[in-house]
Chains A and B, each alone.
Chain A
Amino acid sequence: MTAHFLQIENLARRFPQPGSKEPTTVFEGVNFSIEKGEFVCIIGHSGCGKSTILNVLAGLDHPSEGHVIMDGKVIEGPSRDQGVIFQNHSLLPWLSTLHNVTFAVRARWPKWNRARIREHSVKYLEMVGLGEVLDRKPAQLSGGMRQRVGIARAFAIEPKLLLMDEPFGALDALTRGVIQEELLKIWARTHQTVFMITHDVDEAVLLADRVLLMTNGPNARVAESVIVDIPRPRERATLHEQPGYYPVRNHLVEFLVRRAKTLASAARDADPRHTPRTVNPVKPDTFPPRPALVRSG
């Protein structure tokens, strides 16, 4: 087996159900891997356990079965190797913009002196266009600016793996677009490994190298791994002119609308240790469907 940077093996999460001895299985048999420097989005309907998978990768939650190996080590708890951007910015409201970032940078590199911490933090805040508001408190920033501080904070600690849980979910569409492009720029400069949850198909197509599709919960699985075969650098304004755009987008939408549900019932009979089918909607012949592998074989 080739060693992947991040390897998720047979992950399952079950919650005890009140009034029943049988626990509810949110997801099970989740297998996938992520390479270093890859930008991977995961899409699925609410309740399929995307956030739980992310929390397991962050070390904030523990799986009922299976494990996660990052860089040759099993993830057992939260660490500075995994940076997290939460849905609701989670900035410390009593600290200024700058200090929210220096707080994290100081924790990451305790031996750095003040000037170095500040310089490093300002660099990342400037990357997201917040060089002018270093002294403002989060309450004095707009929603978009707060989320940018969260992005700067997460990138500034240069984690091995950056996890984002619907980072733009609470933003209006215009702001979201602007920040998506900023995220693309900062990612292009740093080449972080990113795992991101989203509900927005266009966002996934714009940002991701690969999109993981989950079937509906309970008993959700990662059914497909869709390659976004669109050249970079990508821009929002011209993305839809790319030849690969519509095939990928249509494939994702079609999955979410139709197959997420039908596959969910089919999955119960399938091999518990299945790996997601790799699909390239732009060049469908590259990875022909292999039904024999999906079923028990």
Chain B
Amino acid sequence: MLANLNLRAAIVSVIFLITALGLWQLATAPQALTGAGELSEYEMLMGGASQPSGIPAPSQVFSHAVDELSRPFYDAGPNDKGIGLQLAYSVGRVMAGFGLAVLVAIPLGFVIGMSPVLNKAFNPYIQVLKPISPLAWMPLALFIIKDSNTSAIFVIFICSIWPMLINTAFGVASVRNDWLNVARTLELSKLRTAFTVILPAAAPTILTGMRISVGIAWLVIVAAEMLVGGTGVGYYVWNEWNNLDLASVIFAILMIGIVGMLLDGMLVQVSRFVRYQD
């Protein structure tokens, strides 16, 4: 029955993909030229009628993708790098910013979660800082840090910190009283209680916060790199837009989606280790 379900889902998936690609191909098929031989003023300006139509067909995107993926790590100067290299820059920035945020958010969330006073005291600040678009920090970051790459990492840090902080504090604060009483009757030290009871109890909630954070970080890095420029997949998209190379843009969009999915998938794997059934 399960195999049957998977099979049926796969069939629906494939049908959907074929239909979508077919419609895309049809919509971008070169139209029969009206009045053959006559070029519009724009076409003459652009050097003839051999210009490809605006949006590339899926077949073009596919052949472009094969070409790009066959040499992902080439580096032919600042404006011509392989997609693998660009993604590596972006992933590197996300990891740096996200990693720093983990180091700050989880210990801080722990302290806030364990202390009702700090919880109440910090809550207004968290509520104000959380909804700020991370890109709004960019000018300030650029001015203070004076380095575009570090500023991008800072922006990732600031956007990743809130979901993890809030989830950690919530997870720690809602550890079941029974479990804490077990620790108390066994006279465990505060530190041992934190590591052997509270941390494992709150781990699934913390991991959920980390998943939300890494998702936001990956959304934000593309926009941040469009601003700071230089390297990264966000810069790549913007650069190809300036080149009017839409096949590259579409290809890059797909790659952003796939890498985002992989980042989330990694944390899903981690969360399997800490999940428990109550």
Contact = CB atoms under 8 A, between A and B. Distances in A.
Interface in A47-68: 58-60
A165 to B, nearest CB: 11
Nearest to B273: A94
Interface in B173-188: 176, 178-179, 181-182, 184-188
A103 interface: yes
Nearest to B275: A94
B67 interface: no
Interface in A125-156: 137, 139
Contacts of A83: 185
B178 A78 contact: no
A121 B140 CA distance: 59
Nearest to B188: A107
Interface in A3-54: none
B230 interface: no
Contact of A139 (B184, B203, B276): B276
B227 to A, nearest CB: 43
A139 B277 contact: yes
Interface string B263-275: 0000000000010
Contacts, number: 57
B200 A90 contact: no
A90 B178 contact: yes
Contacts of A104: 182, 186
Interface of B is mostly: helix
A58 to B, nearest CB: 6
B124 to A, nearest CB: 27
B278 interface: yes
A59 B197 CA distance: 20
B277 A108 contact: no
Nearest to A82: B185
A80 interface: yes
Contacts of B197: 92
Given A60-B181, A78-B181, A84-B181, A93 B187 contact: no
A139 B203 CA distance: 17
24 contacts: A58-B181, A58-B185, A59-B185, A60-B185, A80-B186, A80-B187, A82-B185, A84-B181, A84-B185, A88-B178, A90-B178, A90-B181, A92-B182, A92-B200, A92-B201, A93-B278, A94-B276, A103-B186, A103-B196, A107-B187, A107-B188, A137-B277, A139-B277, A139-B278
Given A92-B201, A94-B276, 7 more contacts: A59-B184, A78-B181, A78-B187, A80-B187, A86-B181, A92-B182, A93-B276
Interface of A: 58-60, 77-80, 82-84, 86, 88, 90, 92-94, 103-104, 107-108, 137, 139, 157
Those 5 A-B pairs whose CB atoms lie nearest each other, nearest first: A90-B178, A139-B277, A94-B276, A107-B186, A78-B184
